[in-house]
Amino acid sequence: MEQGNGYSIPMDPGRFFSNRAFDMRSIDRSIAEHIHLLLITAREEFEFDRDFGCEVWEMDFETQYTSAAWGDQVAKGIQSRLAVYEKRLTGITVMCEPGQAEFSRKEGEQVASRLKRKLTVRLTARIASTNEPFRFEDSVFMSPFSLD
């Protein structure tokens, strides 16, 4: 178990009840896991805090923006969510790059291809407690389209 000053996600309640302690992670890894959780959670999905989550899922099928403008709009939304939900970071800058990825799957004798919308999120910031630089990159896949 890696020792640190941040909790691991997902938390293991079984471990807590047997050892009276949750797994700990380095601050960098704990922040990265928390950001990932924020990115994959739609707003109003988390029952205990309806504001927790990310606008990515509300803008998934948005058509009024160009790809670059959509990425900029999503980046602003993520940055505002991080300002509220990740107080361990300061000076947060978020960049989002929309793209696509193709996945193939064999179905019987045929190979079916699917195209999915891909959002790559990159951010830079500083860890508030140490002023050390923090970098994060993650990709989220959404909107499956079939290329059969």
Q: What is the mean pLDDT of residues 65-78?
A: 82
pLDDT in tens, 26-44: 889 889 999 998 988 888 8
- CA angle 21-81-79, nearest 5°? 120
pTM equals: 0.74
Verify cis geometry, omega within 30 degrees of 0, for the bond prior to 133: no
Q: What is the domain extent for residue 33?
A: 6-16+28-146
- More reliable by pLDDT, 146 or 68: 68
Is residue 101 a part of any domain in this protein? yes
pLDDT > 50? residue 148: no
pLDDT in tens, 16-29: 777 777 777 788 98
Residue 77, domain CATH: 3.10.450.40
Domain count, the chain: 1
pLDDT > 80? residue 12: no
- Cβ atoms of 89 and 82 within 8 Å: the answer is yes
Bridge partners (DSSP) of residue 125 are 134
- More reliable by pLDDT, 80 or 47: 80
Is residue 39 a part of any domain in this protein? yes
Is residue 41 a part of any domain in this protein? yes
Is residue 21 a part of any domain in this protein? no
Using alpha carbons, select from 65, 97, 101, 61 the residue that is nearest to residue 78.
97
pLDDT band (50, 70, 90) for residue 3:
very low
